[in-house]
Amino acid sequence: MAKELAALLMVILTLVCASSIHSVPDEEFFTECENIVQRWANSSLDVEVKDKHTLLDLLFFLHIPRTGGRAYNFCFLNKLYTSYLECPSSYDKLHFDPSIPLNRWLQVVHDDYSITSKLPMERRTSVMTILRNPVDHFCNSKYIGHIWPWKYLVPWMREDLFARRDRRNHGNFQEDKETNNAYDMKDIVIPLEEFIHSVVAYDIIHNGATFQIAGVTNNSYLEAPEVRNCAMSYQSLGKYVLEVAKKRLDNMLYVGLTEQHKESATIFADVVGKQVFLQLQALRSSFILLQIIPVAVFSFNIFLELLKAYDECSSTSRKIEARRRTSTLKRISLNFSKEARLQVPEAVLQTIISLNSLDMELYKHAQHIFEQQKYRLLQERVQVEMHKDDSFKTDSHESAPL
Ligand SMILES: *[C@@H]1O[C@H](CO)[C@@H](O)[C@H](O)[C@H]1NC(C)=O
Ligand SMILES: *[C@@H]1O[C@H](CO)[C@@H](O)[C@H](O)[C@H]1NC(C)=O
Ligand SMILES: *[C@@H]1O[C@H](CO)[C@@H](O)[C@H](O)[C@H]1NC(C)=O
């Protein structure tokens, strides 16, 4: 115990030193930190998932902000699970009581992976997530949004906007040239380049997806904050966090990609949607209470029905979202368009890429998993077709019905 306390103290000291000096890390502190992170990584990597393709009792949707996950939530999962079966969306803290048996079919959260350790059915939980190209992801984080990480980002942004407005009102202009690039209007909003290097960006945005999936964000339930502190203090320890995040992705039931919107939806309907449907049907037949819940909407061809419903719902919700965003940005007279994005200097993009190197790697890994999911689905379809052929032959050539 005393030894652990000493180690913790050392970490705290390291942090204080690291943040005030920023010099070459002290060998001893580094070794201590590396041990802490390695021990955590080793125990996280140890977990074996037997059949990751089978939906278990609880579906946990690890929602990474601004990846389009909201549409999955509202348009897929809400349609599949009725409110009886859905856990109250745990947008900030664990709001649901997992011990109530019916309350265990869906979890939609902005928390990080560490919350799974708080679930009584940790080992009976399937996890899914959606990832997005880190550069797009970063540029999008400047948009306005009350939940982690927005609950930190929004007030911070608001304060910054007001400070800049006050300066303008006092006639303090920093710029002499006219610019209409919303990513670079110092007088109105923090320029992208400055934002990248802000404390907030380091705390919650850079490599955010990796930290969220590894379960070591600053919103973490992990009882070992020193893991995060060490990983944040020494860049070279990031590789351990990345390994854990990759392994977690490997073990997930489903991984979607924001950029491959249509294909992701198709795979989701096939891999997750069908299994949820079957699970609910089985559940209905065993619980009288549940038979009052309408489920018949998706009875004929669950797969096509689900996709069609999703298409309609998600395009509506995208329109609403876009309208809301435009009006917010109009109020502060900004326009973060694709054209403006093209004006962001290459050097700034490169900085974003290097500050998000873990997320870049993780995204590559997710792309790889996505290809595997596609391949698996294709294989299954081929098998179904072959099976159909077989049964056709059997039917036509053998005339002895049972
Ligand atoms: C973690 O595992 C690696 C590889 O098995 C091993 O070399 C290392 O000593 C372990 N570290 C800790 C702190 O357990
Ligand atoms: C998380 O990061 C934000 C943004 O920098 C900060 O305001 C907040 O205090 C941090 N939370 C914790 C628990 O450290
Ligand atoms: C933002 O700029 C784009 C391209 O310049 C334009 O098409 C769009 O209408 C503008 N949006 C707003 C809200 O001004």
Q: Which two tokens stand for residue 393?
A: 């032959």
Cβ of residue 204 lying under 6 Å from some atom of ligand 2: yes
pLDDT of residue 257: 95
Residues 158, 396: Cα–Cα separation, whole Å = 72
H/E element, 56:
none
pLDDT of residue 239: 96
pLDDT of residue 272: 86
- Residue 171: partners with Cβ closer than 8 Å, 6 or more residues away: none
Atom 4 of ligand 1, nearest CA residue: 42
CB 298 within 8 A of CB 305: yes
Distance 73 CA to ligand 3 centre (A): 29
Cβ of residue 73 lying under 6 Å from some atom of ligand 3: no
Q: Which of 185, 337, 343 to mutate to test the pocket of ligand 3 (most atoms within 8 A of CB)?
A: 337
pLDDT, tens digit, for every residue of 165-193? 788 887 777 665 556 666 666 766 677 77
For residue 41, give the ligand 1 atom closest to its CA: 1
Residues 19, 325: Cα–Cα separation, whole Å = 36
Atom 6 of ligand 2, nearest CA residue: 152
Q: Name the E strands within 327-367.
A: none
Distance 232 CA to ligand 1 centre (A): 20
Cβ of residue 335 lying under 6 Å from some atom of ligand 3: yes
Bridge partners (DSSP) of residue 129 are 62, 255
Low-confidence ranges of the chain (pLDDT < 70): 1-25, 74, 78-111, 119-123, 137-150, 174-185, 187-189, 221-224, 283-303, 321, 325-339, 389-402
pLDDT of residue 248: 94
Bridge partners (DSSP) of residue 60 are 107, 127
Rounded to the nearest angstrom, the gap between the alpha carbon of residue 228 and the centroid of all alpha carbons in its chain is: 18
Distance 203 CA to ligand 2 centre (A): 7
Question: How many other C-beta atoms are found inside a 10 Å radius of the C-beta of residue 68?
Answer: 21
Atom 14 of ligand 3, nearest CA residue: 335
The ligand minimizing its distance to the Cα of 151 is 2
Distance 72 CA to ligand 2 centre (A): 28
Classify residue 63 as left (phi > 0), alpha (psi -120 to 50) or beta: beta
Rounded to the nearest angstrom, the gap between the alpha carbon of residue 82 and the centroid of all alpha carbons in its chain is: 23
For residue 204, give the ligand 2 atom closest to its CA: 2
CB 221 within 8 A of CB 93: no
Q: Which two tokens stand for residue 371?
A: 């290809």
Atom 5 of ligand 1, nearest CA residue: 42
Q: Which of 179, 335, 343 to mutate to test the pocket of ligand 3 (most atoms within 8 A of CB)?
A: 335
Q: What are phi and psi of 107, to 5 degrees?
A: -135, 120
Distance 201 CA to ligand 2 centre (A): 10
Q: What is the largest CA-CA distance in the chain?
A: 94
Residues 337, 143: Cα–Cα separation, whole Å = 12
Q: What is the DSSP letter of 90?
A: B
Atom 10 of ligand 2, nearest CA residue: 218
Cβ of residue 330 lying under 6 Å from some atom of ligand 3: yes
Question: How many other C-beta atoms are found inside a 10 Å radius of the C-beta of residue 148?
Answer: 20
Distance 175 CA to ligand 2 centre (A): 32
Cβ of residue 326 lying under 6 Å from some atom of ligand 3: yes
H/E element, 99:
none
Atom 2 of ligand 1, nearest CA residue: 42
Residues 180, 7: Cα–Cα separation, whole Å = 52
The string of DSSP codes covering 179-195 is ---GGG-TTTS--HHHH
pLDDT of residue 35: 95
* Residue where the block lists tokens 């490169």: 350
Closest CA to 259 of 105, 130, 98: 130
Query: What SS3 state is found at 254?
Result: strand
